A and B are shown apart, each in its own frame.
Chain A
């Protein structure tokens, strides 16, 4: 190793190791607070019952098809988008309790904290997605297009989740107050529901339909429906993100990462400066 690359690779290694430690921290928290794990298990069950059976009992999928087959990709998107809120609350709590200042006063790799937080979220995200998939299989949802498209769908879900978790880091760093962050959590519902997740956007008023069609939640849901081979209902002119959902999700993910990774890393390193 040359003298030039050595400090760089050392820094990278520490960023990785410190990030892993923070992932381990998330696991430790789950172990100490089994209540959170139970809540994470019950949430998908509630959503499936609420939307699949309560609302679903009165919803006909236009063109036929099982509503729960239609619904599950929407619930997957919902699980993915919960990353924003979860990461935001954790980062804001660290910032308001002084834990962030402790990290900053330690000789650890400086980008490790945001990378560790997002890495930890991917792990918990994978777990909650798996639970939601289990709930879906129980109520008769299944992928129809074989191994490769199914794997692609899950990969796409996790890529978008990772990108979204950086939005959570940034918002959490800006908010820096766990109480304010907690109050922002319910905003998550209108954002995820203003989409094609639960009902087709075709019947919405024009301006609302525009928002719903361009909501990344809709692109993600449409991409899942396509890759899993679940019923997808579109009518009239189909907006670009819904006509090319996989590309739209990849573009959304890239755009979020390009904007929020540098923004978050800089905000983390600069706070109080």
Chain B
């Protein structure tokens, strides 16, 4: 049970002069959601394509449920589902028609394909639109259809490559709810995304990749802990920005940013400093603060810090 179901070791892949992957390692425990984060061009999609048997690595190897993605691609395909950045369905067919067709192509019997199509439409709230051509669906409905099309064979591992890119917040919420349901059923999900809140909400573990390599892994909380808590200060008078910055950099010292004409944000080194001390020091320097608050960093801040660095932090 503790064996990881997705394992990638030292994956390399180049396209001409572009090194999309330079030794990517990844390990996803069964039944969890792994969020793969990275800036555009970091190699997220290439990694998913290799794991989903669409592309062969130049070097390194990967296994899904113990099967090699190159040598045992057929076995892998029986166990995975892939939903991509596009709604990879036939726009000219109805939602039901698509599910039945892909069901048949997954080698379900006609009856079973029809039954499964109805079951999925019902469960993921597309029954009302089932008999309309997909061309008339909203973006969110198409993406949802794309997602459930990848569920026809009840995959052990589901690859979601930026499943909510370009969707409105409501549709995004619907996709998230669907993914949570799947995980509750025991499906392992590998999710790439550029939206950090998406990873924060869905992922058990996160792998941050940049320049084709994993530069950090951990739970969202662990990653946030690596850069410490943050202190936000809002001043009563913007003129006090200079003195306030002096006080804060003397106290905390790292990663001071001005986030507005009258506000500052600073990373606090792990523990030691108390809010009261900071307020007292500001007071002593004659700086009137309208608001001083201590908070966990957002994943965005973690991500920016990590992807700024050129050397691995692990």
Q: Is the CB of B82 within 8 A of A102?
A: yes
Q: Is the CB of A105 within 8 A of B105?
A: no
Q: Is the CB of B92 within 8 A of A29?
A: yes
State A206–B85 Cα separation when bound (angstroms): 53
Report if B107 contacts A (CB, 8 A).
Answer: yes
Q: Is the CB of B105 within 8 A of A18?
A: yes
Known: A29-B93, A102-B82. A97 touches B88 (CB 8 A): yes
Q: Is the CB of A97 within 8 A of B94?
A: no
B246 CB to closest chain A CB (Å) equals 54
State A25–B133 Cα separation when bound (angstroms): 13
In the complex, chain B residues 77-134 whose Cβ is within 8 Å of any chain A Cβ = 77-78, 80-82, 84-94, 97, 101-102, 104-107, 133
Report if B54 contacts A (CB, 8 A).
Answer: yes
State A99–B84 Cα separation when bound (angstroms): 10
Closest to A112 in B: B105
Report if A28 contacts B (CB, 8 A).
Answer: yes
Report if B55 contacts A (CB, 8 A).
Answer: yes
Q: Is the CB of A33 within 8 A of B107?
A: no
State A138–B59 Cα separation when bound (angstroms): 65
Report if B56 contacts A (CB, 8 A).
Answer: yes
Chain B residues with Cβ below 8 Å from A107 are 74, 77-78, 106-107, 153
A16 CB to closest chain B CB (Å) equals 12
Interface of B is mostly: loop
Report if A98 contacts B (CB, 8 A).
Answer: yes
Known: A104-B53, A105-B53, A106-B102. A99 touches B93 (CB 8 A): no
Q: Is the CB of B105 within 8 A of A272?
A: no
Interface residues on A, range: 20 to 34
The contact string, 1 if C-beta is below 8 Å from chain A, for chain B 147-166, is 00110010000000000000
Known: A104-B53, A105-B52, A107-B77. A97 touches B86 (CB 8 A): yes
Report if A142 contacts B (CB, 8 A).
Answer: no
State A105–B149 Cα separation when bound (angstroms): 12
State A22–B102 Cα separation when bound (angstroms): 10
Q: Is the CB of B105 within 8 A of A99?
A: no
Q: What is the total number of residues of chain B having a CB less than 8 Å from a CB of chain A? A: 34
Chain B residues with Cβ below 8 Å from A14 are 107
B16 CB to closest chain A CB (Å) equals 14
State A1–B104 Cα separation when bound (angstroms): 25
Closest to A36 in B: B92
Chain B residues with Cβ below 8 Å from A238 are none
Report if B178 contacts A (CB, 8 A).
Answer: no
State A108–B133 Cα separation when bound (angstroms): 24
Residue in B56, B78, B80, B94 whose CB lies within 8 Å of A273: B56
State A101–B149 Cα separation when bound (angstroms): 13
A60 CB to closest chain B CB (Å) equals 45
Known: A105-B82, A107-B74. A25 touches B106 (CB 8 A): no
In the complex, chain A residues 69-107 whose Cβ is within 8 Å of any chain B Cβ = 97-99, 101-107
Q: Is the CB of B84 within 8 A of A101?
A: yes
A104 CB to closest chain B CB (Å) equals 5
Chain A residues with Cβ below 8 Å from B93 are 25, 28-29, 32
Q: Is the CB of B92 within 8 A of A33?
A: yes
Q: Is the CB of B101 within 8 A of A101?
A: no
Report if B49 contacts A (CB, 8 A).
Answer: yes
Of B77, B80, B87, which is in contact with the most chain A CB atoms at under 10 Å from its CB? B77
In the complex, chain B residues 54-70 whose Cβ is within 8 Å of any chain A Cβ = 54-56
Chain B residues with Cβ below 8 Å from A65 are none
State A174–B123 Cα separation when bound (angstroms): 38
Chain A residues with Cβ below 8 Å from B106 are 106-108
Residue in A21, A29, A97 whose CB lies within 8 Å of B105: A21
Chain B residues with Cβ below 8 Å from A106 are 77, 102, 105-106
State A21–B77 Cα separation when bound (angstroms): 19
Of A14, A33, A102, which is in contact with the most chain B CB atoms at under 10 Å from its CB? A102
Q: Is the CB of B105 within 8 A of A98?
A: no
Closest to B88 in A: A98
Closest to A108 in B: B105
State A272–B94 Cα separation when bound (angstroms): 29
Chain A residues with Cβ below 8 Å from B92 are 29, 32-33
In the complex, chain B residues 17-62 whose Cβ is within 8 Å of any chain A Cβ = 49, 52-56
Chain A residues with Cβ below 8 Å from B97 are 25, 28, 32
State A208–B86 Cα separation when bound (angstroms): 45
Q: Is the CB of B74 within 8 A of A102?
A: no
State A102–B151 Cα separation when bound (angstroms): 12
Q: Is the CB of B90 within 8 A of A99?
A: yes
Top 4 A-B pairs, shortest CB-CB distance? A98-B88, A98-B86, A107-B77, A29-B92
A sample of 25 inter-chain contacts (CB < 8 A) reads A17-B104, A18-B105, A21-B104, A25-B97, A28-B93, A29-B93, A32-B92, A32-B94, A32-B133, A33-B92, A98-B85, A98-B88, A101-B82, A101-B84, A101-B88, A102-B89, A102-B149, A104-B53, A104-B54, A105-B80, A106-B77, A106-B102, A112-B105, A272-B49, A273-B55
Beyond A104-B54, A106-B105, list 11 extra A-B contacts (CB 8 Å).
A22-B105, A24-B104, A28-B97, A29-B93, A98-B88, A99-B90, A101-B54, A101-B88, A106-B102, A107-B153, A272-B55
